[in-house]
């Protein structure tokens, strides 16, 4: 028997093309009300932007403090090289105090994650870890020739 004939015979044998399945009463009428949709992506994006807007001043403060502390480190290194111990201790103490108070203020204002990220950033300013070219630039702009030669 050809395929077409077989299919036609079948359709004659089972003319009622209904499954017999039913749904609870009012199912389709209430389906839409039961459908829980997540927030639209675009709106989520706007929310994230809003959050960023509020966080911006804190991020700015955190970045400024990180820069200040980096400058302070440079400053103390230079002072070290000048070998004025008394001044260095005094300045160091003052700077330490200032640094501690800045750090604690800074730590209360931002999240732990941001705080540790900023600390990591500062740790990276380690001359021993600097690439040779950067180290040469750093020494040229911050130390005298004799200091470099004497290895101070």
Partner 1 sequence: MVDKDKQLIMDLKDIEKREAAFRLLVQAYQQRLYWHIRKIVIDHEDADDLLQNVFVKVWKNIGNFREDSSLFTWLFRIATNESLSFLQQKKRRNTFSIDNGSDYLVETFESDPHFAGDELQRKLQVAVLQLPEKQRIVFNMKYFDEMKYEEMAEILQTSVGALKASYHHAVKKIEAYFDNE
Binding site for partner 1 (CB under 8 A): 3, 6-7, 9-11, 13-14, 16-24, 27-28, 31-32, 34-38, 40-43
Task: Please say which residue, 30 or 84, places its beta carbon nearer to partner 1.
Answer: 30
Minimum distance from CB of 106 to partner 1 (Å)? 39
Contacts of 73 (CB under 8 A, 6+ apart): 122, 125
Pick the closest to residue 143 from 74, 85, 93 (CA basis). Answer: 74
**Cα 23 to Cα 68: distance, rounded to the nearest angstrom:** 70
Task: Please say which residue, 35 or 149, places its beta carbon nearer to partner 1.
Answer: 35
**Cα 45 to Cα 51: distance, rounded to the nearest angstrom:** 10
Minimum distance from CB of 47 to partner 1 (Å)? 13
Task: Please say which residue, 49 or 86, places its beta carbon nearer to partner 1.
Answer: 49
């Amino acid at each position: 028997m050809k395929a077409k004939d077989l299919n036609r015979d079948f359709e004659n044998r089972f003319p009622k093309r209904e499954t017999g399945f039913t749904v609870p009463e009012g199912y389709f009428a209430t389906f839409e009300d039961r459908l829980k949709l997540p927030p639209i992506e675009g709106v989520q994006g706007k929310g994230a932007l809003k959050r960023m807007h509020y966080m911006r001043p804190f991020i700015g403060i955190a970045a400024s403090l990180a820069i200040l502390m980096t400058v302070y480190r440079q400053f103390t290194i230079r002072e070290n090289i000048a070998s004025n111990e008394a001044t260095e201790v005094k300045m160091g103490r003052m700077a330490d105090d200032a640094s501690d108070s800045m750090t604690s203020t800074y730590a209360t204002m931002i999240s732990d994650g941001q705080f540790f990220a900023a600390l990591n950033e500062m740790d990276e300013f380690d001359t021993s870890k600097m690439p040779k070219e950067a180290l040469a630039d750093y020494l040229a702009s911050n130390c005298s020739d004799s200091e470099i030669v004497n290895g101070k």
